[in-house]
Structure 1
Amino acid sequence: MKSIVGIALLSLLPTRALCLSKRSCTSFEPQGKHGNKGYTVPSLKTFRTSEYINCTTELAREKGEDDVCEVDRYTMGLTLNSTVNVSVSDIQPVLDAVKEAASSDRRAKIDLNETVLVPFRVFKPGIPAGEAGYLAFTPIMRCWEGLLGDCSGDDEKLGGTVVEACGYEYEDHRAVAGEQMVVGKESVVQSNSDEFKAKPQPTWEEAQEKAKKEKDSDSEEKDKDNDGGNSASTLTGNVLGSGIWGCVVWTVMGTLWGLM
């Protein structure tokens, strides 16, 4: 009978042990020759920022220029993602630790949020006459190499691991919201395909609205998860406590009953 009770108690441990899991690393020590200044690399993701144009001399002249075909210009919204080159249960605490460890001049300009929404406007004149293709923008990421520390929960084994974490640097971090463009490089991508005639990116307003809906949806999902976890453990939590001590009590009791 006691063995059955022990098994029942042990079966509840995964729910109670959630407080000991899904944590991450909260400190970062810069390493290498670049130290806390970091270094820059091109993002692996390039954004198309204009429609496809087969720019002939005749077409360029129709638009009032002899050597370039003008493109549609508007403020678009780009969704970027900061990166860490190891798998962690929660990337944001790691990114926060990297930002805290960065030099003060870099820290003021960098965005190390997991998701970064920024405006973008085309500055290049357009597609040169005699070329066919579209304009593109490649963000330049600022990265730091260093040691993870203060790791717990699912990420405890990552303590002392050397990682690379990268975010985005603003051209003018003092600019108002909606004007903070990130550092990057514009280019002409030559192509013979006319499948890129559609609008290249959502407008800034469309991107903001989409981000808001996704944030609201994520909040609703978290609320549902919390409600489910609370309803399943309210009684046991009231009896034996919650948090770290609750987990310890349940672990000890389950183990003792299982051995009897």
Structure 2
Amino acid sequence: YPNTGLNIPVYPNTALNIPVYPNTALNIPVYPNTAHNIPVYPNTALNIPVYPNTALNIPVYPNTAHNIPVYPNTALNMPVYPNTALNIPVYPNTALNIPVYPNSALNIPVYPNTALNIPVYPNSALNIPVYPNSALNIPVYPNSALNIPVYPNTALNIPVYPNTALNIPVYPNTAHNIPVYPNTVLNIPVYPNTALNIPVYPNTALNIPVYPNTALNIPVYPNTALNIPVYPNSAVYMAAHTVVYMETHADIIVI
């Protein structure tokens, strides 16, 4: 509740497992003026599998911080299984921080008939920095949706540092929506020796509408690849009513 702290540190060589079984709901609301910290230390695993017909809800309310730092040699796994929803709404004046440190992996696979929703509301920040030798994987499987709407006066930052991979494959019959609303910034800098892969498979849509007074920044630094292969019967939409900035010192491959 308000003015409260919830701390669940997971120390080295340790595993924290919170399985959410079928026809079940796990709700971890973080109320105003509250901090929620789940640091995952080295050589540790945090597993929160969400099974079928299940909901995992972690609403982050105003003036609140939700911190899940993933330290070296660590894995954070949140697989979302069929007919399931994972909702992490980030409300106003709130921050959701999931830094992925070196030699770590953050995996959020979204399986069929499933939705992963991370709406970022006004005056809020969603930060997922991916540090060197780390991987952030969010595969979106068939008949699934990944929705990350970024509302006004909001920032979504996913910096991808050296020797790092960010993979967001969008499989058939799937939708991937990242609408960027007014007065908003979406930054995805891709640093050296790094790969950003967003393959768009058949019968799939990738939508990144950029609304007025908004910036979409995808600077691609040296020795870096940005790959957006577009397969048959697929579409990539980027509606630019404002500034779309792409600085290229490397290969941009759109097939």
**Please, what TM-score do these two structures have when normalized by structure 2?**
0.21
More RCO (CA 8 Å, sep 6+): 1
Larger Rg: 1
Give the helix-richer structure, 1 or 2: 1
